Amino acid sequence: MNRKCLLEISVEALESALAAERGGADRIELCRNLSVGGVTPDADLLRAVRAQVRIPIFFMVRPRAGDFVYSSAEFAGMKRSVVGAKEAGMDGVVLGVLTKEHRVDVKRTRELAELAKPLPVTYHRAFDEAADLHQALEEVIQSGAKRILTSGGAKSALEGAAMLAKLIEAAGERIVIVPGAGISSVNIAEVTRRTRASEFHSGLSAALPYGSNEYKKFEEEVRKLAKQIARISQTQSTSH
């Protein structure tokens, strides 16, 4: 694996977005209400972050907390959010739709992915709620999404590392698997070693509880994580 490893940080405020950028994040996932896994941020936050942050911003499209089975009205709202993200100059969108049977809703996901073009779609951790993750992988690929954010169906990426490694192998070059959940500077080296992933996602909630305004501390934690990832990238490029 000769690629540079990439770090995505999820944030819910302009201050934390700026702190993540200063700390060395490669990309931001912009949400609100991260304590429930993140929902669609409002237009004011979107504009403020886009005006001041230079690194790529992926925009969460999730109308509410709870399950990922959406009504027609909620789905219509998701489509409007995707269009809004494009108009606001976002670099990607993050979403996930399931059927009542806990399968990927390929039809609806494809509709959103088509609408998002040319922006890439990340299928978020709704994936981890799917009944069969290998089947879900194939369904997400069919939908046209470019990435899957997942913990391998476990509570954390470290606990799901064995499944993540299998998914990454099965995905090959078809889609990027992005391990997320519980990743920090303490365990990133182990997660990388066990999964062989090249992109990683963290909200650093273990280091800084959601809603905290200790942005200096947040920046420092991002920096520690970014340094570890840079070191891993360096090791991988010299060992190949």
pLDDT in tens, 145-166: 999 999 999 999 999 999 999 9
Q: Is the dihedral of CA 141, 143, 146, 151 positive or negative?
A: negative
pTM, 2 dp: 0.94
CA distances for 129 relative to 52, 58, 133, 202, 224, angstroms? 35, 22, 9, 19, 31
Confidence of residue 240 (pLDDT cuts 50, 70, 90): low
Q: Which pLDDT value is given to residue 2?
A: 47
Q: Is 3.20.20.70 the CATH classification of the domain at 6-238?
A: no
Residue with tokens 């494809």: 110
List the strands of the sheet with 57-60, edge to edge. 176-179, 147-150, 121-123, 92-95, 57-60, 27-30, 6-11, 199-202
Confidence of residue 235 (pLDDT cuts 50, 70, 90): confident
Cα gap 101→2, rounded to integer Å: 39
The mean predicted confidence, pLDDT, of the chain is: 94
* Contact by Cβ (8 Å): 90, 119: yes
Count CA atoms closer than 13 A to 105's CA, side-chain side: 20
Q: Helix count (H) and strand count (E) of the chain?
A: 8, 8
Mean pLDDT of 7-26: 96
Per-domain residue ranges of the chain: 6-238
